[in-house]
Amino acid sequence: MFNLKNTAIAALLAATAMATTALADEAALDMKFAGALEFSDTGTLFVGDNYNGAIYAFDLTGGTAPDQVAPVRISDIDVKIADVLGVAASGLAINDMTVHPVTADIFVSVTRIGNFEASPALMKVSQDGKIEMMDLASVPFQKQALTNYPDQVTRFRPRGVGPNPPLPRDLAKGEIKLSSLAIMDMEFHDGELFVSGVAYDNFLSSLRRMPYPFTGEQSSASVEIYHLSHDQNETRAPIRAMSIQEIDGKTQIVAAYTCSPIVLIGLDEIVDGAKITGRAISDYGNGQPLDMVSYKLQGQDMLFLTNNSRSPQVIPVDSMNNAKVYTAADLPRGGQMDLSPTMPIGPVGKTVMFDGMSLHIAALGDGMFVSLTRDMFSGSLNMDSNPTGFPNRFYNLIAEYDFPQYWAEKQ
């Protein structure tokens, strides 16, 4: 859900500060970065601030539901947001998107980049298509600082491709702090907020849980997985996207990692100080997961999982019941690429057609997704509403059904 490219831009420009208290109700808002977004069932908006090492909870409850949720279609959404903020489109980084569970307003977290600084903003797109920047300083909020927040020194290690030395663009990764991945995804469930990201030590991959309203209490557990395509146990790569589901009769996190295993972790395992071994049940191939959306399709609970390098996967939740847990003993040794006969493996659902590239996607009412979609023909970034059964834009597709001769033969 969290975009490393956007993080890199903001990391170079945004000031960083480690929160000094576990809980604070602040008179003045001090948010330095607007990243991962999540709503509670009633409309509290959680915003992850990777540079303050904190999560902000803004009270956006009390809204009114529309009589009917309308589809949204806004071309060049990045240009229009940039115009509202008074920056060029090239000075805008889009970090996440979510939908208010009551009002169906769409919220987009962004970084606006100026000559000497970067600052966060939260944009609202209402049902009538109006775009505005939220005045968060006027909204009641709580702030929850992360425990075990990563240090402010450690950065990524640049690498080249094969025997080739790193290029300048590869070296730029060496300027990004690991703390930029402190908050990758958030899920609100049964009065608690679950947060994936990286923590402070060598065992980096972490899951945190904290009650809401915030009390200053939180549990932080480390997560290890067997990574099928990498053929190694991993403790550093964080969960990129997740959903909470009932599987095998217990409440579990369905976690998606880069390159791209699906892992199950029971909520009862997430206790403070625990070292969890996640259960890898599938791998659908290389790439980086972006968003995991829970929805219903023909009465079935489904997960719609987008990826920066692949078409979306639609995974029936029921298919994960009684799934085999894979270990190193179950696969040939060595990394497994997409063309390996072992890939994909486990209950990965099906790849579905999607026109363009979804940067972020969320459920919008019943039967619709809203997507920030890069158009494959024009390259523009659009906000589209697509049906969940066939999440595509017909105007970009020319098929047999579009020919007048087809319909003439039907008459």
> Mind listing the pLDDT tens digit for each residue in 321-353?
999 999 999 989 998 899 999 999 999 999 999
Least Cα distance to 349 among 387, 309, 320 occurs for 320
End-to-end CA distance of the chain: 48
Question: Using 50, 70 and 90 to split pLDDT, how confident is the model at 396?
Answer: confident
Q: Are 122 and 138 in contact (CB under 8 A)?
A: no
Question: Using 50, 70 and 90 to split pLDDT, how confident is the model at 23?
Answer: low
Q: Is the pLDDT assigned to residue 8 strictly greater than 70?
A: no
Q: Is 164 or 103 the better-scoring residue by pLDDT?
A: 103
Q: Is the pLDDT assigned to residue 128 strictly greater than 70?
A: yes
Q: What is the pLDDT of residue 4?
A: 45
Which of the residue ranges 158-172, 317-331, 363-377 would you say has the lowest mean pLDDT?
A: 158-172
DSSP state of 9: H
How far apart are the C-alpha atoms of 280 and 304, rounded to whole Å?
A: 18
* 59 to 36, 39, 139, 400: CA distances (angstroms): 17, 10, 6, 50
Tell how far CA 364 is from the center of its chain: 16
Q: Is the pLDDT assigned to residue 19 strictly greater than 60?
A: no
Dig out the tokens for 254 from the structure: 């369905």
Strand residues in 228-326 grouped as ranges (E):
232-234, 241-247, 250-256, 261-266, 275-277, 279-283, 289-297, 300-307, 313-316
Q: What is the pLDDT of residue 27?
A: 59
Mean pLDDT, to the nearest integer, of 254-270? Answer: 97
Strand 241-247 and strand 250-256: pairing? antiparallel
List the beta bridge partners of residue 103: none
Q: What is the pLDDT of residue 49?
A: 97
* Average per-residue pLDDT for the chain: 91
- In percent, how much of the chain has pLDDT > 90? 77
**Residue 66: count of CB within 10 angstroms of its CB:** 15
Alpha helices (runs of H) in 166-252, residue ranges in sequence order: 168-172
How far apart are the C-alpha atoms of 244 and 353, rounded to whole Å?
A: 25
| Cis peptide bond N-terminal to 158, omega within 30 | no
Residue 245: phi and psi, rounded to 5, are -140, 160
Q: What is the pLDDT of residue 25?
A: 52
Which of the residue ranges 2-11, 64-73, 175-184 would you say has the lowest mean pLDDT?
A: 2-11
Q: What is the pLDDT of residue 173?
A: 86
> Mind listing the pLDDT tens digit for each residue in 204-251?
899 999 999 999 999 999 999 999 999 999 999 899 999 999 999 999
Q: What is the pLDDT of residue 3?
A: 55
**Residue 287: count of CB within 10 angstroms of its CB:** 16
Q: Please give the torsion angle defined by the CA atoms of residues 120, 126, 128 and 133, in that order, rounded to the nearest 10 degrees.
A: -30
Q: What is the pLDDT of residue 202?
A: 75
Q: Is the pLDDT assigned to residue 201 strictly greater than 90?
A: no
Q: Are 328 and 280 in contact (CB under 8 A)?
A: no
Q: Are 290 and 232 in contact (CB under 8 A)?
A: no
Question: Using 50, 70 and 90 to split pLDDT, how confident is the model at 63?
Answer: very high
Q: Is the pLDDT assigned to residue 15 strictly greater than 90?
A: no
Q: What is the pLDDT of residue 200?
A: 85
CA angle 5–174–284, rounded 5-degree value: 50
